Structure 1
Amino acid sequence: MNILKITLLAFSLILSAGVTSSMAYAEETASDSSSNISEAIAHIEQAIAEIQKSDFNTARVHLKAARASAEKISGHEDVVKKANGLVIQGQIKTKKGDIKNSSADLTQALELYKSL
């Protein structure tokens, strides 16, 4: 009887540890996603500022970093996909030196990321 009690106690401890660890993982994922959104927003804002100064090389670095941060965002896949498409279009237009249109695309992407 004593072995049965010990076995049941060990089993219940294992189950409770498994439940709490999965909850901690879910909280960690949510906070990581919000920090990735913040990083993407910050990089896009810096890229827009650099484009306005006609510093296209630095702007491209910020846009690459924004795309890398955006790839780590979980949830809202449709919004993230649309925003990433706008960032890519902004990159292409930045490469061509089109200040007006690249700023417009990046501003739209920024609004989408802020809506998350």
Structure 2
Amino acid sequence: MNIIKITLLAFSLILSAGVTGGMAYAEETAGNPASNISEAISHIEQAITEIQKSDFNTARVHLKAARASAEKISGHDDVVKQANGLVIQGQIKTKKGDIKSSTEDLNKALELYKSL
């Protein structure tokens, strides 16, 4: 009977440690808006580089990643919304192959993200 109690206690401690550790990691990644901003900036810069090379498929991948990281940014909702709109416009123009206009929109979005 004593062995069963010890086993159940050890099992419950292991489970609670696993759940607590996972929650701490989730709070750490979600609560760091500076890393999300820098990640969005990095993806937009890489997308601009790929657009200049006329590699539109890779640019679209970077723009999708930039939008995904921008969704995690908290605070400054009006600036983030405006920057996301510019990124979307850049995506649309990239699909059409308009290098100049998409680069202009993405540079404007880049300035807005850097202002945060």
TM-score (norm 2): 0.74
The unaligned stretches of length 5 or more in structure 1 are 1-26
Would you say the 8 A contact 2:47–2:62 is kept in 1?
yes
How far apart are the structure 2 equivalents of 1:113 and 1:30?
18
Per the alignment, do residues 100 and 48 of structure 1 end up closer, same or farther by CA in structure 2, a change over 3 Å counting? same
Aligned to 2:32: 32
Give the distance between the partners of 1:87 and 1:41, measured in 2 at CA. 11
Q: Secondary structure at the match of 2:81?
A: helix
In the alignment, structure 2 segments of 5+ residues that lack a partner are 1-26
Please give the per-residue CA displacement for 1:11-55, whole angstroms capped at 9, x wherever unaligned. xxxxxxxxxxxxxxxx95896100000000000000000000000
Identity, % of aligned positions: 86
For residues 82 and 114 of structure 2, the distance between their equivalents in structure 1, rounded to whole angstroms, comes to 13
SS at match of 2:54: coil
Distance between the aligned counterparts of 2:113 and 2:62, measured in 1? 15
Contact 2:30 2:72 in 1 (8 A): no
Aligned length: 91
**Runs of 4+ displaced beyond 3 Å:** 27-31
What's the secondary structure of 1:35's corresponding residue?
helix
Give the letter for the 1:51 counterpart: I
Name the structure 1 match of 2:75. Answer: 75
What aligned pairs does 1:27-66 form with structure 2 within 5 A after superposition? 28=28, 32-66=32-66
